[in-house]
Amino acid sequence: MIVVAENLSWGVRNKTIVSEVSLSVAPGETLGLIGPNGSGKSSLLRLLAGLKRPMSGRVKIQDRDIAEVPRRVLSRQVAFVQQNAATDTNVSVLDVVRLGRTPHRSALSGWSADDQAAVTTALERVDMTDRKAQAWQTLSGGERQRVHIARALAQSPKILFLDEPTNHLDIHHQIEILRLVRDLDLTSVVALHDLNLAAMFCDRIVVLQEGRVSACGSPETVLTEPLLRDVFRVEAGVSASPFHSRPHIHFMAG
């Protein structure tokens, strides 16, 4: 396994947010984190990425305790895409993506051929090469998210963590972003609100409830009517989609 969490717990002001979470992520897998608001998805994602330190438990990346990995080394292995990342600075698409090379450069190093190749490839993978000179502020929400993914890819990471990457995007851009993530040759862990999108694009799903793992497995085994009732407090029917054969949730109104 490329990522392993062992009995992770974390909280603030005597309130436990993540409680005794254990999970693993296989190389090349897309793992989805779902759960109600306040269930601990974003906090767990940051713990797994090394952006927060657990109160107890540990995270291992490639069999090494993440607490023992120097920050600069870790940032070459792991990239994090936060939700609604924004900037007021007058920068271009290329400027944003070039920031992804920071972990690979020292204060005295010049811009290398490897740096340029990584940025060029990242822009190509998100289909933003033709927009590289465009001002950041003029991009749509979906385009900005693609640029943030390109910045993360320019880091040349082995693992990509994404926190609600489809938040505030229309359905076209939601599908576009998740298809892009799924098709990358990377291990990815993504926190999502939309259960049907999680079913469509994730290899496995972890369900969080009040900071604990309520279920973990394939979309077919996890997204059941009893779980939706117990965890999300909704009545719904689940059937195989005629388009992709994965579970599709039909929510009942009223």
Give the domain ranges of the chain. Answer: 3-251
Q: What is the pLDDT of residue 16?
A: 93
Which residues have a Cβ under 8 Å from the Cβ of 194 and sit 6 or more positions away?
166, 174
pLDDT band at 84 (very low <50, low <70, confident <90, very high): low
Q: What is the pLDDT of residue 161?
A: 97
Q: Are 166 and 174 in contact (CB under 8 A)?
A: yes
Residue 13 has pLDDT above 90, yes or no: no
- CATH number for region 3-251: 3.40.50.300
Spatial separation of the C-alpha atoms in residues 197 and 111, rounded to whole Å: 39
Tell me the whole-structure pTM to 2 decimals.
0.91
Q: What is the DSSP letter of 50?
A: T
**Tally of CA atoms within 13 A in the half-sphere of 143 that contains its CB:** 15
